[in-house]
Amino acid sequence: MKLFLGLPLLLFFNVQEYVTKLINGWIDLQVEVAQYINTDVRGVPLSAPATKPLSGFRGNLSGKRVEYTGRTVISPDPNLKITEVAVPILMAQILTYPERVSYHNTEKLRQCVRNGPKKYPGAKYIRQPDGTEISLKFSSRKRHADELKFGYIVDRHLEDGDVILFNRQPSLHRMSIMCHRARIMPWRTLRFNESVCNPYNADFDGDEMNMHVPQTEEARTEALMLMGVQNNLCTPKNGEILVASTQDFLTSSFLITRKDTFYDRASFSLMCSYMGDGMDQIDLPTPALLKVTKRISTPIISAKLEHEDNAKEASLAKARIEKTLLGQVAKSIKIVMSARLASIVITLDMEIIQASRLCTDAYRVKESILQTPRIKLKDQHVKVLNSRKLEVVPQTDRSKLHFELHTLKNKLPSVVVTGITTIERVVINSEEKKDSGGGPKYLLFAEGTGLLGVMGTEGVNGYETKSNHIMEVQQTLGIEAARSSIIDEIKHTMSSHGMTIDIRHMMLLADLMTFKGEVLGITRHGVQKMKDSVLMLASFEKTADHLFNASVNGRDDKIEGVSECIIMGIPMQLGTGMLKVRQRVQQVELNYGLDPILS
pLDDT in tens, 189-242: 999 998 898 899 888 888 999 999 999 998 999 899 999 999 988 888 778 888
Number of domains in the chain: 3
**What's the DSSP call for residue 59?**
I
pLDDT score at 421: 87
Is the same domain home to 24 and 79?
no
d(CA 155, CA 133): 10
What's the confidence (pLDDT) of residue 435?
62
CATH number at residue 210: 2.40.40.20
Residues ≥6 apart with Cβ < 8 Å to 222: 576
Domain boundary among 418, 450, 478: 418
Cα–Cα nearest to 206, from 74, 81, 392: 74
Its pTM stands at: 0.59
Give the ranges where 301-446 is alpha helix by DSSP (H).
311-321, 326-329, 350-355, 362-371, 398-411
Q: Where are the beta strands (DSSP E) in 150-258?
A: 153-157, 163-167, 177-185, 190-192, 208-212
- Is residue 221 domain-shared with residue 76, that is, in the same domain? yes
Contact 53, 34 (CB under 8 A): no
- In this structure, the number of other CB atoms found within 10 A of the CB of residue 430 comes to 13
121 is in which domain, residue-wise?
A: 69-231
The answer to whether residues 337 and 413 belong to one domain is: yes
77 and 41 housed in the same domain: no
User: Does one domain contain both 37 and 93?
Assistant: no
Same domain, 45 and 93: no
Separation CA 387–CA 275 (nearest Å): 82
Evaluate whether 449 touches 420 at the Cβ level (below 8 Å).
no
| Domain end residue (candidates: 231, 254, 289) | 231
Do 91 and 147 fall into the same domain? yes
Beta bridge partners of 332: 347
Are residues 16 and 85 both part of a single domain? no
Residues of the chain with pLDDT under 50: 1-7, 9-11, 45-51, 276-289
**Chain-centre distance of CA 408, in angstroms?**
53
Is residue 30 one of the residues assigned to a domain?
yes
Do 170 and 222 share a domain, yes or no? Answer: yes
